[in-house]
Amino acid sequence: MSILNAKSVEQLQLTNIKNLSTITPNLFSADPGDGRNVISIRGIATTSYDPTVAVNIDGVNQFSLDTYIPELFDIERIEILKGAQSTLYGSDAIGGVINIVTKKGQKGPPRWVFRTEGGSYGTFSNKLGVSGATEDTSYNIALSQFHSDGFQRIGYRIGRLAYLNPNGVDPITRLGGSAKVSKQINDWLTFETGFNMSRERLQYDSGPYSEDMLAPNPQVGVLTTAYQKAIAENGAFRTTLTTFETKVHRDMWLYTKDSVYGDTNAHYIYNGTRLGAELQEDVKLGPYGTLSAGARYEGEKAAGDEDGATYDKRQTTRSAFVLHQINLFEKLHLSSGGRIDDISGSGSFATYRATVAYDLTDSTRLRASYGTGAKAPSLYQLYVPAYNNPSLKSETSRGYDVGIEQSFLAGDARLSANYFSNKIDNLIVGDPLTWIPYNVAKATISGVELSSEYNLMPNWARLKSAYTLLET
């Protein structure tokens, strides 16, 4: 697991999830041009608009379709877990997990923060936040704005060629907001609630499906999440009850110029909702480690209009999980866990994962893990008109990794090496011509990750490098 603390996030100027691909080996995150955030970890990537890497903000999954890139603001830490993480995080985490935890307000008077930036192509952004805390209540509220005019694919460097692209640039505007409030009721009970919203309006080109490949197409996307937590702590016991809701809205126009069959101007609308609850119990067992167990219920709805063809589908997921962690002899760190998911219409599956880490010396750590993963096809993949495949089977995977971490020069230098291998049955991929998803019976993904880090000048300059070899 890779962890970026608040100081690292600030120093690296991470403004959204896409930036993580520049500092994390074998993690790729990009916008394909229509506002979505396509994420890949170790070669397992988004297919048919359905992520295989779970993105959680304050414990709430950012949904399984068209995850728009949220602005990162007031981040406490970012955790990146590679490999199948279905045991703890469910079906969306067969490729890995990105956990984002936002800061709580600190005691004292309100702390105001304002940041503004600007650049070429009419790009500018603004962020405004306020945070603080009293004896029993903390708060953190933020607003963000981003705009870019984009650039002309033809003529932005050579002006005399601009006439070839009369439609001009492809602008994008993104507005965001977040809030996190926590209140301590008494010595053992705390309530917390949070809200995140991102609204994006953009324009992109028609591409190779139109005779006029540069014809503009507008799109609006909105992602909204909210959660409520009750946390009760009593000695060795910690009980957390979480309720959550995530909504996704997408409104898209697609213009196609065709001199043979006639021009079209198709309109696509998607509305998705997830809501549910999770109960988790953590028990400290003293020298026997920590035991965590829980249950989760989630309802999901996908509805839309694909240029006149409508659909409205639902499914439910019931899950139970358990995890045990223990440290032996102050050098050996072990964990093991399992999970059962029952998804209406897609059946049920069990997953498990075990990890081991051994501190050979104070500066050398050996680690290994083995686990299984599973992912059910999404409602979009199963039912969206024209591009669906109701015969899709759930993906399953099994994989392992081994690695070593070595630090030098009193911790100022660090080297890391990992080897991993994943075998996937019924891998879901999309046909590049028809866009219809289908299963690949067998797939194997393996590779090597090498990284290094050196503090040239502590708190001033840091040198990082990475090398990735991926074989499929």
Q: Of the candidates 359, 350, 357, which has an alpha carbon nearest to the alpha carbon of residue 331?
A: 359
* 8 A C-beta contact, residue 233 and residue 192: no
What pLDDT is recorded for position 41? Answer: 84
Q: Of the candidates 8, 26, 5, which has an alpha carbon nearest to the alpha carbon of residue 416?
A: 26
What pLDDT is recorded for position 441? Answer: 87
* 8 A C-beta contact, residue 257 and residue 217: no
Q: Is the dihedral of CA 69, 73, 74, 77 positive or negative?
A: positive
Express each pLDDT in 281-327 by its tens digit: 999 999 999 999 999 999 999 999 988 899 999 999 999 999 999 99
Q: Of the candidates 426, 314, 404, which has an alpha carbon nearest to the alpha carbon of residue 52?
A: 426
Express each pLDDT in 162-215 by its tens digit: 666 655 677 889 898 889 999 999 999 999 999 988 888 888 777 776 777 777
What pLDDT is recorded for position 65? Answer: 45
Distance CA 385, CA 114 (A): 45
Mean pLDDT score of the chain, rounded to an integer?
Answer: 85
What pLDDT is recorded for position 166? Answer: 58
Residue 407, judged by CB atoms within 10 A of its CB (0-12, 13-18, 19+), counts as middle
Two structure tokens written together for 153 = 């694919």
What pLDDT is recorded for position 34? Answer: 58
Mean pLDDT by groups of 10 residues along the chain of 472 residues: 76 74 77 68 71 81 58 79 82 83 86 89 89 92 88 59 63 89 94 91 76 78 91 95 92 79 82 94 95 95 90 94 94 95 89 94 93 89 88 91 91 90 89 85 91 81 84 84
Two structure tokens written together for 159 = 């002006």
Residues 6+ away with beta carbon under 8 Å from 192 = 180, 181, 182, 183, 228, 229, 231
Q: Of the candidates 79, 15, 8, 82, which has an alpha carbon nearest to the alpha carbon of residue 43?
A: 82
What pLDDT is recorded for position 66? Answer: 45
* 8 A C-beta contact, residue 62 and residue 246: yes
Distance CA 321, CA 430 (A): 31
